[in-house]
Structure 1
Amino acid sequence: MERLDKRVAGSLTRFYVVALCVVAMLTISGLFLIRRTISNLNHDSRVVNVAGRQRMLSQRLTKLAILKLEGREHRDSVSFSSLLQLWKGSNESLAHRRLPVGSDFVTWKSPPLDTMFRDLAPVFDRIYQNFLLINADTVSLGDKQNALSEILANEPLFLAKMDKIVFQFDKESFERLENLERIEWILDLMTILVLIAEGLLIFRPVVNTTRRVVRMLTESEDALQLSNQMLKEANYQLLEAQKELLRVEEEKYQLQLAEDRVRAGALIEGQEEERKRFALELHDGIGQMLTGLKLHAEKLKVVQFHDEKHRRRFEQLVQLIQDTIQTTRQVSFNLMPSVLSDFGLASALRLLGEQTADSSGINIEFEGDSSQRIEMSRPMEIGLYRIAQEALNNAVKHANADMIKIKLEQNKNRIVLEISDDGKGFLISNLKSEEGFSLNRNGMENIRTRSQLLNGKMEIVSKVDSGTKLSITVNL
């Protein structure tokens, strides 16, 4: 079923279009009639002027004929023949209802004027023929005198008939003007009636409908505002609930992070304690046993071996014992360097760089003051050392660097540890991708975890073929 609003809108639109079309047609018709009448009036004035000129030309020709017969001089520059031809041509145009105006012709329909021109034709012909006799050189003076007398006798009749023709032209023009005025009044009255009908049948229903729609919209707006207010209150309550939920989730998340940190801290602390215990076991247990074994082996050097092969094997055994002792000391140092607890972090980092340089062949420099120990907590000291150890190990394994630099400085209440290299570098985005560098494989997760446990800030700067720099900032 068609909706009511569409049906009403369609009906009103049709009425409105029809009313506008009627008004437009009436207006256009009035303009057309006015334009046409004005054009006719212009043509009528042209015809009246030509008709009036005919009277003037006949009088002028008569005057010239009299002067010509009497042989008097005159100042009229126009020739008699040209005036006569103009008078004849204008009369023929008026009689045949085809008057040239510019490049066009003016025509009209008037039976009274046709009758008048038929009555005028014999008089015009008699005068014209006599003018021709006067203008002819072969005619005698007596004949010309008789022709002039004939002209003077017929001229008053010609002028009287031309006056009637001019008055008839003017009368018909005035009648057309009055007719136009009547038609204009009729069109104006019809336009007013159409506008009144439009106001009653279209405008008034539209106003009533608009008033009703506005009232309904106002009521709907009030209801909508009330609903919006209720919805706003409900949204506010929902937002409060969401904020509370987010706060609970945030507390839960922070609690979980704290638990993870405590767990990671406990795990790392347990690892460090286990490393310390294992380092002591290696140093005091296996290390001492290997040292004793080395002393007993060196005492056997005084024994003379009869077989040269046995002597070389014994020397290889002594060297193997020495290498085993050195490796045990290195493992013990890596697990828990005694220089860290005895002389502090700077000395431990310097020694770590020297040992790594000896074992890897890479130039490693330490920048820092190792003569003065930086006062910090034991867990912080161990954590920074492990971070440097892990970062240095990554640089040696993956960077393909020629130069590695370890920098430790104290800036007021902050400790800044930097490990930089001139290696091949990598894209930071690859740290989180499955391909390329992996967090666990490169030890970056351990570094991140230790820096978080120390409440420190970790920053990695790296570009391909431009090296890598790891910076750890910890507040004392």
Structure 2
Amino acid sequence: MENQKQQQALDTATFLRVRKWYLLAIATIALTIIVAQILIQQHLNLQLNDSRVINVAGRQRAFSQKLVKEALLLQTAESDTKAQERIREDLKQTLFVWKTSHAGLQNGNDSIGLPKEENKTILSLFKDLNPHHQAMVNAAETMLSEGSKPNIPADAYESQLQVLLDNEGDFLIKMDAIVNEYDALSKEKLQRLKLKEYLLLALSLLILLLEVAFIFRPLSIQIRETISKLIQSQIESDNTASKVKRLFEEKERSLQQLQELNFVIDNAALFASIRKNGTVVFISKKFMNLLGVPNVQLNSPLSEILTEDEGQQQYLREIVTSKRKNIRNEEIEITTKTGTHLWLDMSIIPMHQSSLEQSVLILCSNITERKKNQLKIEELTKQNYEERMQQKQLQASQIVEGQEEERKRIAKDIHDGIGQMLTALKFNIESINLDQKEKTKEKIAYLKTLASDLIKGVRTATFNLTPPELEDHGIFPALQKMTTELSKLTGENILFENKTEENIRFDSLAETNIYRVTQEAVNNAIKYSEANYILVTINHVDGLLSVVIDDDGKGFDPSVLDKVAKKNSEGGMGVFFMKERVNYINGRLFINSIPGEGTRVTINYKVGEAMLDNS
């Protein structure tokens, strides 16, 4: 009984001790949670204030630009009283909000939810910004006060507008610095809060570990699962934060690209802005200098500013006032007021304002020099074409002359050779007297010799005109026959080497031209080279037919060929015809010579479809 009471007391004591530690742990955790919640709430309140301050500070930039824009509109709307009044009211409202926000950011303003600024760095930045802000405020107030006067001159706002434009850039830059400082302070507060949160989290984890070690051992598995879920949530949170960061960076890049595009457009050299009716709103100074116009009266038609030619003016009016949705590019010629002829590459860009009225942006490039160069190129091309045509006509006449000379040579050979032998044959036959048998025998023997010479002359003439081997058996046997016959006729050492394994037939036109070019090259070597030997080598490898004519003669300077050909002398016609024949079959001709060492002529012909000769 006593043991039971002791056991019960022990259980109660254990329960009370566990409950005490449990309550202490719970109280400690609750305290840390309360402290964390208080810190979070305080930070959220501060974040709300910081967000409001950053929003108002960022809005100050937009209001400064809006102020300058409305001031510019107030100047451009000088002929429209109602528009001036409306713009003046907008300008007054913008100025009021801008001034109030500027003062509230420094001294606080309950109506717009701004606390008084205590940070010395930001106050120092505001102190540096205030002169520009005050200068812009004074300029805007002066414009508003002068705007209430009647008969305002067109340049009444020029000086104040210049003050606004001079200070706007500095204001934007320094306002950016203030916004960045606000953002840095907000991040610093967040870092401090995170540090406190981490410390409180560490304390909570320590308490939890003690509870796990001494109280909640049976619940360890569940606690580990809970911690795993927390870690997974942290990872997902980090992934989400990473995605948000990437989106923010893409947004920043897009904004930067837009700013760069605006900068390029704003700083274009030759540009103008016109209304849908073609009248000018703005035109750049460089454009006016190019056109030779010292100043431009606004609301004047752009077509009349660009050119003095009425036809050009009519065309310009049509292209700039026609309605369109896409950009149009035009290359136009204009005649300026100074009488200068210019070519402009014009881009016509339709723009839609907030009032839904269409305007047009004109971007131009001066392409006068390019056009002049194009005209020079066309003139040179035309001149080159005419020279080539004259050269072709000259070559054609030379070819005709060459053909006539060839006909005369053939006629002369037939007349002087075959004709004389036929005449002698005729006279000898007529002079035969059968009564004089001895003389008749001599004449018959002479007639036999004369007939043999006549047959040989006819065969030589026909061989020179069209060798039968070329038509019947192809280029290889024809070249072999040619070298053999020329060697017999001239007594020169003319050799032939065939490196092909089989006889191949080619297109008849190609065979004829290759044969004639080879014949001309061999004849030139016989006439001029004074060579000991002439070697004709033919080869066919991988669809390429190659004919090489080598000699060991005296050679010549290859540059002489070009000089002779340019003089169109008779000596250059042979090489000219050789090149023409090879070019006609889409082949290639190479002539290499070294004085004192010899000459090599190479003919290359890329075979399209070749046929094996089965004969």
Normalized against structure 1, the TM-score is what?
0.41
**Higher helix share goes to which structure?**
1
Structure number with greater CO (CA < 8 Å, separation at least 6) is: 1
Greater CA radius of gyration, 1 or 2? 1
